[in-house]
């Protein structure tokens, strides 16, 4: 990138274009800008930090190599999320047997890195902290049992808070399909977690997009994702 503009003054599209044109720093700048949310999506989709790091790296390698195919029909960040989610789903499909493995013992270390339940304040009752930890583990385990497409939709809509229309672009499907996947996923998680299903999602889920179950929603943001490479 040339001129007096700093990295924050250059748009995502310009960074991607600069990368395609041979700027060796542009892609790293682009990734650093969106690293936190891409890591959170990878972690929640894969279910554990090791697999998430592999999925994220696969996605970044794919984005790096396919940057020239970007046509600007969606936002760059939408395209990046699509590539990373697809890379994660490809890994899941290639190693389905991992779903039966126990959750890793070091999940507590990653509680502030895009976990499914927000970290509790230091002053909170230790008993409540333990309950939160148990609930987080239960959500991770339940999420891992969902069909790949439902899991991806729930991660992006309910956990990352993206609009359904944008998630439809990320997953390359219709808006109604995203709504249906979320609705079915919420109903299934409600059964697995032993909580009441959201109103209207018991039995045959509608195409609406009601609020997710309280045990599934999370608004925390990742703090320190691993460096790519």
Residue predicted with more confidence, 114 or 167: 167
For residue 129, the model assigns a pLDDT of: 53
Cβ neighbours around 87 below 10 Å, total: 23
Q: What is the pLDDT of residues 5-49, one digit of tens each?
A: 465 679 999 999 999 999 999 999 999 999 999 999 999 898 889
Q: What is the pLDDT of residues 35-90, one digit of tens each?
A: 999 999 999 898 889 999 999 999 999 999 999 999 888 899 999 999 999 999 99
For residue 137, the model assigns a pLDDT of: 73
Report the distance separating Cα 43 and Cα 53, nearest Å.
8
pLDDT band for 123, please (50, 70, 90 cuts).
low
For residue 2, the model assigns a pLDDT of: 47
For residue 173, the model assigns a pLDDT of: 93
Question: Which residue, chain included where needed, has tokens 């977690």?
Answer: 193
CATH class of 115-215: mainly alpha
- Alpha-carbon dihedral 35, 37, 39, 44, rounded to 10 degrees: 180
Same fold, 11-104 and 115-215: no
For residue 199, the model assigns a pLDDT of: 60
Would the pTM count as exceeding 0.85?
no
Give me 151's structure tokens. 């899991």
pLDDT band for 117, please (50, 70, 90 cuts).
very low
CB 53 within 8 A of CB 98: no
As a whole-number percent, the residues of the chain with pLDDT over 70 amount to 64
Report the distance separating Cα 203 and Cα 214, nearest Å.
19
Report the distance separating Cα 39 and Cα 84, nearest Å.
9
For residue 130, the model assigns a pLDDT of: 57
Burial environment of residue 151 by CB neighbours within 10 A (0 to 12, 13 to 18, 19 or more): buried
Topology at the third CATH level for domain 11-104: Rna Polymerase Sigma Factor; Chain: A (1.10.1740)
Q: Where are the domains of the chain?
A: 11-104, 115-215
**Packing angle, helices 26-46 and 49-66, rounded to 10:** 140
Q: What is the pLDDT of residues 186-222, one digit of tens each?
A: 999 888 888 766 665 554 443 333 344 333 444 343 4
């Amino acid at each position: 990138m040339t001129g007096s503009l700093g990295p924050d003054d250059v748009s995502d599209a310009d960074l991607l274009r600069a990368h395609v044109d041979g700027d060796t720093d542009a892609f790293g700048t682009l990734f650093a800008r969106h690293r936190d949310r891409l890591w959170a999506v990878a972690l929640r989709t894969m279910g554990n930090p090791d697999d998430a790091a592999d999925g994220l790296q696969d996605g970044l390698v794919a984005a790096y190599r396919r940057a020239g195919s970007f046509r600007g029909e969606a936002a760059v960040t939408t395209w990046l999320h699509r590539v990373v989610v697809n890379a994660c789903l490809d890994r899941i499909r290639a190693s389905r047997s991992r779903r039966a493995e126990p959750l890793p013992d070091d999940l507590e270390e990653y509680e502030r890195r895009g976990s499914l339940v927000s970290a509790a304040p230091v002053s909170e009752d230790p008993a409540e902290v333990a309950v939160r930890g148990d609930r987080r583990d239960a959500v991770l385990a339940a999420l891992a049992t969902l069909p790949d497409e439902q899991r991806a939709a729930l991660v992006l809509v309910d956990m990352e808070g993206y609009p359904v229309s944008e998630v439809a672009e990320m997953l390359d499907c219709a808006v109604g399909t995203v709504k249906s996947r979320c609705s079915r996923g919420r109903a299934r998680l409600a059964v697995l977690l032993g909580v009441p299903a959201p109103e209207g999602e018991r039995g045959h889920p509608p195409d609406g997009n009601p609020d997710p179950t309280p045990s599934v929603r999370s608004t925390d943001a990742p703090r320190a994702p691993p460096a790519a490479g």
